[in-house]
Structure 1
Amino acid sequence: MVTRVRTVLGDIPAEDLGVCDAHDHLFLRTPLLPGQELDDPGRAQELLRGFHGLGGRSVVQWTPYGMGRRPGDLVALSCSTGVEVVAATGLHQAAHYPEELLGRILPELEALFVRELTEGIGGTGVRAGLIKVAGSFHGIDAHARLTMAAAAGAHHRTGAPIAVHLELGTGALDVLDLLCGELGVDPGCVVLGHLGRFPDGVVQREAARAGAFLAFDGPSRANHATDWRLPEQLAELADAGFGGRLLLGGDTTVPGTPGMPHLLRRLRPRLEQALGKDLLHSVLVTAPARAFAFAAPREGPRP
């Protein structure tokens, strides 16, 4: 059976993702970052071309519903640069949205996610290939529980993978208890983001042992344990047998951060020296192809 990833240009065989930035943003808008919006298609094209010129072939954009996804521009950028782009549905933490918007969409959240995965985002016909949700600091608040339940329901109906923002890298095991324990999502369909920001090796190993994918993202942020701890963390997880569960992303959220080319220009040589070519190929190519592939939708009643 050929596994497939849903890009903004349509479904492709998972192995065609190639070298993948597993978590990034071409466009992003939130009231929590006023004046720091990512909304420049020209700059996005420049980053994608730089990424492609270094061998990058795909970018998974985690920008969810209501945060400035610009699906039409994603299509144009993918066509002009040759980089496959995966768009997201889903919902971030409540603080990123006005209360009146949440009041309108929360009652039909699962249906909204399914519609954006199967029909398109905002009537554009550009389909999402990922469900993005978010935990809270060291746990799961009521909003996160609601959005994760909707994400699980949409996953069971469509097979779409679920990506989770872990607040400051915390709460990974609580998320897995809810999504995979209570809500019946296969851990292999869950990507946990920001684990490098709270570099607890015990939690990282437990999450990998459960079967989830671990995304190390957000390089060159001075207030997070990112670049300088990254080779050590990945090597420790690989030595523990979890090399096939590791992903790498840039998570560009504001203008002025290094962006997608940085992953390949600066981090790739460093990681190749620390990890070896085979493991780095898994991190950049093999693991993303598995992590972002659609699973078979569940038949029959859900848990």
Structure 2
Amino acid sequence: MSRVNTVLGPIPAEELGVVAIHEHIGYGMPGSELDTRWWKSPEERYEETVPKLRQFHEYGGGTFVDATGICNGRDVDYYKSLSAKTGVHIVACTGFVGGDTALPHFARASVDYLTRQFVHEITVGIGTTGARAGVIKVGVSRGGRMTDLDKRIYRAAARAALATGVPILTHLAIDAENAIAIFAEEGLALDRVLFGHADDGVNAEKTRDTWIAEQGGRVGFDTFGYETELEDPPFWARPRQERLDHFLRFIGKHLDKALASADANCSPLGWPGVKGHTVNYIFEDLIPDLRRAGVDEATITRLFVENPATFLSIQN
């Protein structure tokens, strides 16, 4: 039986239910916990997060994949408490959002060191929590091209994925040619990689989403809800209908490669976040939009249940 690592232990992939494949309990840049303007006590973060996860569970959500990497606010003991309290399975990640968020200790590290770090967090546990990571996070640093550090992280992630069987998800799907070349050199099948943020308002036109799918990679449309129609939209916002149309075109050709999420922060660290945007956009807006567009229930189940379960299942 296939299994997935959650913060409360491995579970059968069949028990994941509806999956929010790319979300954050609380994301911030390194050092954000020291910012007095946006600092929050653990109690404040808990009070802000629990209602969102409870609503997600009440809507029918089963699993929340936290894509917050090392150095960006990952707090696995906190995740364990949230999971136990709300009934939502939480999958934690190892890896980094991008090389530009890695603190110097990791930024100077070799591929071998990074590989050992990732493998340990997947097979032994993250810190002293006893919880094992269920996915590896990698990303393209600011600037739009992979840096030398990014490439070391991607290579280490590929080796760790091969050694442990867990998949990789990426921050941004730009510069995919370099990423795919690294994965090919390491012998990693591309169906173990989810190239994320293919739909964001900054990089969508530069992202070769169809090409990635044709190479065998999975593609994440996972910034749903960041809309230009918001009162104060972020710089990566995009018109709601434009994003939806893009997604519909993609799933019309590559449904088996598609996953979707909202990339929301339950309680942002060191920045105000985007008011009103939560993981529950999936249930409150995205799925209704898909139904209005004529997408049938079998396709919705494929997108939010079956594709994520296949992707997250440990392959060893």
Task: Report the TM-score, using the length of structure 1 for normalisation.
Answer: 0.88
Which of 256, 266, 272 aligns to 1:244? It is 256
1:171 corresponds in structure 2 to: 175
Residue 32 of structure 1 deviates from its aligned partner by 8.3
Alignment of 1:256-267 (within 5 A): 256-267=275-286
Report if the CA contact (8 A) 1:208-1:214 is conserved.
Answer: yes
Residue 158 of structure 1 deviates from its aligned partner by 0.5
Question: For residue 297 of structure 2, what is the amino acid of its counterpart?
Answer: K
Alignment of 1:67-146 (within 5 A): 67-100=72-105, 102-103=107-108, 108-136=113-141, 137-146=143-152
Report if the CA contact (8 A) 1:60-1:85 is conserved.
Answer: yes
CA distance in 2, matches of 1:88, 1:30: 16
CA distance in 1, matches of 2:25, 2:175: 26
Alignment of 1:11-90 (within 5 A): 11-31=10-30, 35=37, 40-90=45-95
CA distance in 2, matches of 1:107, 1:286: 34
Structure 2: give runs of 5+ residues left out of the alignment. Answer: 229-234
Alignment RMSD, CA only?
2.3
Cα 1:194–1:13 change in 2 (3 A) is same
Residue 280 of structure 1 deviates from its aligned partner by 1.5
Residue 249 of structure 1 deviates from its aligned partner by 1.2
2:232 corresponds in structure 1 to: none
1:233 corresponds in structure 2 to: 246
Residue 59 of structure 1 deviates from its aligned partner by 0.6
Cα 1:157–1:107 change in 2 (3 A) is closer
Report if the CA contact (8 A) 2:174-2:207 is conserved.
Answer: no
CA distance in 2, matches of 1:48, 1:230: 25
Report if the CA contact (8 A) 1:201-1:233 is conserved.
Answer: no
Question: For residue 122 of structure 2, what is the amino acid of its counterpart?
Answer: L
Residue 201 of structure 1 deviates from its aligned partner by 9.1
Matched residue of 1:72: which SS? helix
Cα 1:104–1:200 change in 2 (3 A) is closer
Report if the CA contact (8 A) 1:220-1:227 is conserved.
Answer: yes
Cα 1:57–1:273 change in 2 (3 A) is same
Task: Report the TM-score, using the length of structure 2 for normalisation.
Answer: 0.85
Question: For residue 187 of structure 2, what is the amino acid of its counterpart?
Answer: G
Aligned residues between the structures: 291
Matched residue of 1:69: which SS? coil
CA distance in 1, matches of 2:104, 2:150: 15
Q: CA-to-partner distance for each residue in 1:275-299, whole Å, 9 max, x for gaps?
A: 2222111111111011111112xxx
Cα 1:159–1:37 change in 2 (3 A) is farther
Report if the CA contact (8 A) 2:111-2:155 is conserved.
Answer: no
Cα 1:66–1:81 change in 2 (3 A) is same
Question: For residue 182 of structure 1, what is the amino acid of its counterpart?
Answer: E
Report if the CA contact (8 A) 1:133-1:165 is conserved.
Answer: yes
Question: For residue 58 of structure 1, what is the amino acid of its counterpart?
Answer: T
Residue 13 of structure 1 deviates from its aligned partner by 1.4
Runs of 4+ in 1 over 6 A off after TM superposition: 104-107
Residue 220 of structure 1 deviates from its aligned partner by 2.8
Cα 1:257–1:25 change in 2 (3 A) is farther
Residue 139 of structure 1 deviates from its aligned partner by 3.0
1:9 corresponds in structure 2 to: 8
Structure 1: give runs of 5+ residues left out of the alignment. Answer: 297-303
Cα 1:201–1:30 change in 2 (3 A) is closer
Residue 107 of structure 1 deviates from its aligned partner by 6.2
CA distance in 2, matches of 1:250, 1:281: 17
CA distance in 1, matches of 2:112, 2:313: 28
Cα 1:104–1:175 change in 2 (3 A) is closer
CA distance in 1, matches of 2:151, 2:39: 28
1:195 corresponds in structure 2 to: 198
2:231 corresponds in structure 1 to: none
Identity %: 28
Matched residue of 1:23: which SS? strand
CA distance in 2, matches of 1:227, 1:3: 36
